Copies of this chain bind each other. A is one copy, B any other.
Amino acid sequence: MSLTYVTAKEAAALVNHNDNVGFSGFTHAGCPKVVPVEIAKRAEEEHAKGNPFKIGMFTGASTGDSIDGSLARANAVKFRTPYQTNKDMRNAINAVEHDPIQYFDMHLSQVAQEIRYGFLGGVDVAVVEACEVTESGEIVPTSGVGIMPTICRLAKKVIVELNDKVPAKMRGVHDLYELQDPPKRRHINIFEVQNRIGLEYVKVDPSKIYVVRTSEENEGSGFAPVDEITAKIGENVANFFVSELKKGNIPPTFLPIQSGVGNIANAVLASMAQNKDIPRFEVYTEVIQDAVLDMMQKGHISFASGCSLTLSNEAMDRFYRDLDFFKNKLVLRPSEISNNPGLVRRLGVIGINTALEADIFGNVNSTHVMGNMMMNGIGGSGDFTRSAYISIFVTPSTAKNGMISAIVPKVAHEDHSEHSVKVIVSEYGVADLRGKGTYARAEEIIENCAHPDYRPLLRDYLNLSKKGHTPQNLYACYDFHKAFLETGSMLNADFSKYKK
């Protein structure tokens, strides 16, 4: 039986108002790029005719502008989960209207299972990017996986963007396996970062496949160069690891590293490469960025397991060129496996994630600016933090030219609790919270991580209320944030007014 080939516009016509649509990929990597734009156009046409047209959106993580941007601008979104980084989508989520897009911000490892369990509604259509699709229904993903196996299996229609810019030699990079559901399911058969348990492709009934031929570039942008502050954060993390190795807290063969998304994560890995006392290590993470590629080529990283290759276009080209080198040193998995808390714990993964702000007691905000505006979402940070061998959060001590302190009396929104956050690192140093009481933790964070300009203010706050295990003062705890909202700088917080 031969496959059905359609245009992007014809494919978009397969999507109806109120459908729940699942998209492949994780970050911009592996996302479809042409059909979502056509769905957005279709929405605009229907809206122009006075007809409703909105879809529910399931993804692996964030997507490219073709998905989140197009559909948000077209006002075509009924709900969105689990994570986004797109400006237009973010603006819609934070709009003055009451939640015009129902956005639910989920732990990424839970998305596929909650879809399977039936908690989130069905999947009507899957739109996925592939570098190969066969007449027997084998679909080979491109540079990102996300929730692709689950949405392809459950969807009534599977629209495949067959992208000829991605070499078909990518076949073999992926390890695609969908978890069983409880009760009485078996364990996941991964005991080492490089273990493979699944197939190279997702296989579905070919009669439900609609193929759209595309020729689209990777949507990756470059990384900002490592600056002095991110370099110093990286160095502090690397030195912390060396000290843990010396104490025997980390085994001499080291442990797999997870590192979050963005420039700081890149800088941390670069510092680890530069440090002679850190042995070659493995990566068990969600997003494989440029630094990992460099370090694999230089021999600092022996193997990388992730959910996506989130690379700059330059690095993506390099990857394709050297595919034979990378192919047996790297595996891309579905997000429910790349981010699986049980595996993170079993493998002893060390988690390194970025905090938006942390408080002096060790609670971390990863999502909300000033407590109300959604930035991106929790992403995989909770999947790793709660289960990691050591959970580290990194952050520059200040933002907005020093007007915002990343270390505050109380986080304005909390995504990771003091119980799960073990180490905080800024460019000033390392706060090691393990085995410490409240005041000792506060001292570590203030003296080692806060910017020196903010330390006196944070000490003032700590000394305001002497009673209670956690001397939080509900009258004063958001004075940093209020000072910023009122005067443009947290430095104008003043706790003297509370003193009797």
* Residue A33 interfacial (CB < 8 Å): no
Query: Given the known A-B contacts A412-B474, A419-B382, are A104 and B435 also in contact in the complex, defined by CB atoms under 8 Å?
Result: yes
Which residue, A114, A118, A182, A420, has most C-beta atoms of chain B within 10 A? A182
Q: Which of A123-131, A269-277, A288-296, A465-473 contacts B (4 or more CB under 8 A)?
A: A465-473
* Residue A373 interfacial (CB < 8 Å): yes
Which residue, A191, A247, A343, A371, has most C-beta atoms of chain B within 10 A? A371
* Residue A81 interfacial (CB < 8 Å): yes
Closest B-chain residue to A185, C-beta based? Answer: B346
As a 0/1 sequence over residues 182 to 225 of chain A, the CB contacts with chain B under 8 angstroms (1 = contact) are 11111110011000000000000000000000000000000000
Contact present for A469 and B345 (CB under 8 Å): no
Among the listed B253, B347, B415, B470, which residue makes an inter-chain contact with A419, where contact means beta carbons less than 8 Å apart?
B415
CB interface residues, A 479-495, toward B, < 8 Å: 481-482, 485
Contact present for B102 and A389 (CB under 8 Å): no
Which residue, A248, A251, A256, A469, has most C-beta atoms of chain B within 10 A? A469
* Residue A370 interfacial (CB < 8 Å): yes
Closest B-chain residue to A254, C-beta based? Answer: B183
* Residue A105 interfacial (CB < 8 Å): yes
* Residue A19 interfacial (CB < 8 Å): no
As a 0/1 sequence over residues 429 to 462 of chain A, the CB contacts with chain B under 8 angstroms (1 = contact) are 0000011111110000000000000000000000
| A40 cross-chain contacts in B, Cβ below 8 A | none
| A315 cross-chain contacts in B, Cβ below 8 A | none
Complex Cα distance, B117 from A474, in Å, reads 36
| A185 cross-chain contacts in B, Cβ below 8 A | 191, 346, 348
* Residue A414 interfacial (CB < 8 Å): yes
Contact present for A182 and B346 (CB under 8 Å): yes
Q: Which of A42-50, A92-100, A150-158, A160-168 contacts B (4 or more CB under 8 A)?
A: A92-100
Contact present for A99 and B347 (CB under 8 Å): no
**Chain B min CB distance to A181 (Å):** 7
Query: Given the known A-B contacts A183-B253, A253-B183, A471-B372, are A102 and B348 also in contact in the complex, defined by CB atoms under 8 Å?
Result: no
**Chain B min CB distance to A268 (Å):** 20
Contact present for B440 and A102 (CB under 8 Å): yes
Contact present for B187 and A191 (CB under 8 Å): yes
Query: Given the known A-B contacts A121-B435, A482-B474, are A348 and B114 also in contact in the complex, defined by CB atoms under 8 Å?
Result: no
Contact present for A481 and B472 (CB under 8 Å): no
| A107 cross-chain contacts in B, Cβ below 8 A | 419-420
| A106 cross-chain contacts in B, Cβ below 8 A | 419
**Chain B min CB distance to A123 (Å):** 13
| A370 cross-chain contacts in B, Cβ below 8 A | 474
Query: Given the known A-B contacts A342-B342, A412-B474, A474-B481, are A187 and B184 also in contact in the complex, defined by CB atoms under 8 Å?
Result: no
| A412 cross-chain contacts in B, Cβ below 8 A | 472, 474
* Residue A426 interfacial (CB < 8 Å): no
**Chain B min CB distance to A149 (Å):** 18
Contact present for B119 and A469 (CB under 8 Å): no
Complex Cα distance, B122 from A247, in Å, reads 13
Closest B-chain residue to A189, C-beta based? Answer: B187
Complex Cα distance, B345 from A389, in Å, reads 18
| A420 cross-chain contacts in B, Cβ below 8 A | 107, 382
- What residues make up the interface of A, taking CB atoms closer than 8 Å to B? 79, 81, 93-99, 101-107, 114, 117-121, 181-188, 191-192, 247-249, 251, 253, 255-256, 340-343, 345-348, 363, 368, 370-374, 378, 382, 386-387, 389, 412-420, 422, 434-440, 465-475, 477-478, 481-482, 485
What are 27 A-B residue pairs whose CB atoms fall within 8 Å in the complex?
A93-B469, A95-B467, A102-B437, A103-B438, A105-B418, A106-B419, A117-B249, A118-B249, A182-B348, A183-B253, A183-B347, A183-B348, A184-B192, A186-B191, A340-B345, A341-B341, A341-B387, A342-B343, A342-B345, A342-B387, A370-B474, A371-B468, A372-B465, A373-B469, A386-B386, A413-B470, A415-B417
Sample of 17 more A-B contacts, CB < 8 Å, known A382-B420, A475-B482:
A93-B469, A98-B439, A99-B437, A102-B436, A102-B437, A103-B438, A117-B389, A183-B255, A187-B191, A341-B341, A341-B342, A363-B414, A368-B469, A371-B468, A378-B417, A474-B478, A474-B481
